[in-house]
Structures are given as C-alpha cells and as structure tokens.
Chains A and B, each alone.
Chain A
Amino acid sequence: MKTKIKELRKQNKLSQDELAEAVDVTRQTITSLECEKYTASLVLAYKIAHYFNLTIEEVFDFSDIN
C-alpha cells in the first residue's frame, strides 16, 4: 500500500528511528511501510496518522483497494 510516511517524515525532519519509537514499532517496520512491502494494521495506521495530526486517509492511499 502506498503511503506518505516518507514525505511526512522528511517534512517533519524525523528519522525512521524517531518515528518508530514514537509509534512503538521497530525501525524495520517503518522501512517496510515506506517501501510498500508491509501494510500497517489499523492500530498502527491510526498511531502514525495521529502522530502527524492527520487522518488515516491522508497518510495511507486506499485508491488501490477495490
């Protein structure tokens, strides 16, 4: 699934480690999300969106679904 995590992270000058620690996951999970290898669970998607003060739809691209 496409995400805007990388862009948002760069806008906020955050490292993968810092974002990972903030949302209680490992750095590898953030890498996998950015590389579109892994689809986040609803809880993780909410945590990431909430961290950037955005909605889930604004961070994750659901256009591929359906």
Chain B
Amino acid sequence: MENYKKTLQNKLRATAIMLCFGSAVFIIGQQGYLSKFYPQGNFGDFFRGFHAGIFIALVICLIASAARIGAILKDEKQLKADYIKNTDERNLKISELTGYKLYKSLITPIIVASIAAGYFSSTVFFTLLAVSAFIVIVSFTRWIYYNKII
C-alpha cells in the first residue's frame, strides 16, 4: 500500500508538471509566437480552434485527475478502494484482453503527430485524427465486450 501511495504521489507531481508545461505552451501560443506557423484559410481557423479545444480538454482532465488523486491520498479508505480497483485481477485480465496498454501507448503519440502534421498538411492531420478516433472507439467497444463476458 505504501508503494501505491508513492506511485500516486509521483503521478500527482507529473500531473502538476504537465499542467505547467501545457499552460506555458498555451501562453506562448496566445502571445502570437506560433501564429506565423499556422496554416492559412478555413483549415487554419479550424486548426487554431482545435488547439484551443485540445488545451482546454487537457487542462480540465489534468485538474480533475489532480483533484481525484489528492482526495485519494487524504483518505485511507479511498486509497484502499483505488488500490483494489487498480490491482484487481479481473480488471487486469480485461485490460490485457482489450490491449488497453497498447492503445494507451499508441493514442498519445498519434494525437501529438496529428497536431504536428496539421502545420504541414490538412489531409495527414485529419487522417491521424480519424485513426486516433478509431483506436478510441475500438478500445472502448472491446472493453465493453470483455467487461460483459468476464
């Protein structure tokens, strides 16, 4: 349990660092330093909106995650419940069958690649975005399926 507590503390630190880094990137973007790199026309407007949307979603997720971890660390009962949830053998089996770890490790690089590709080509941007959406849908569907049959 102590090891799990340390893992959660490390997770909280990583979340705070990501939040600071994300905010710094967003502020730099708002100052206009990145505006010359943005594509022109309708796609450019869409791309700016997409960036803002991704950032807002990321910030909300990170704040919610930090609040959840903070609450868990304060309450021993919640800590045990979360530990059980994360180490439960049935949950681990479902994760293994759905390939959750693989999907999780694929989705972040694909989204980052789609954002980077957006500066050069709208086709590549939309293709990678569709791939990431497909991965999320497949992963979620498989999770529902295995959660039902196991």
Contacts and interface: CB of A to CB of B under 8 A. Distances in A.
B150 A38 contact: yes
Contacts of A21: 80, 84
A32 B150 contact: yes
Given A24-B84, A26-B84, A44 B149 contact: no
Range for the number of chain A residues in contact with chain B? 10 to 19
B134 to A, nearest CB: 28
A25 B89 CA distance: 7
Contact of B150 (A20, A25, A37, A43): A37
B149 A25 contact: no
Contacts of B87: 24
Interface string A21-50: 100111011001000011011011000000
Contacts of B90: 25-26, 28-29, 32, 38
A44 B150 contact: no
B88 interface: yes
Contacts of A40: 89
B89 to A, nearest CB: 5
B149 to A, nearest CB: 7
B91 interface: yes
B147 to A, nearest CB: 8
Interface in B74-92: 80, 84-85, 87-91
Contacts of A25: 84, 88-90
Contact of B91 (A24, A26, A37, A44): A26
| Closest CB pairs A-B (n = 5) | A29-B90, A26-B88, A25-B88, A38-B150, A41-B89
Given A25-B88, A25-B90, A37-B150, 16 more contacts: A20-B84, A21-B80, A21-B84, A24-B84, A24-B88, A26-B84, A26-B85, A26-B88, A26-B90, A28-B90, A29-B88, A29-B89, A29-B91, A38-B150, A40-B89, A43-B89
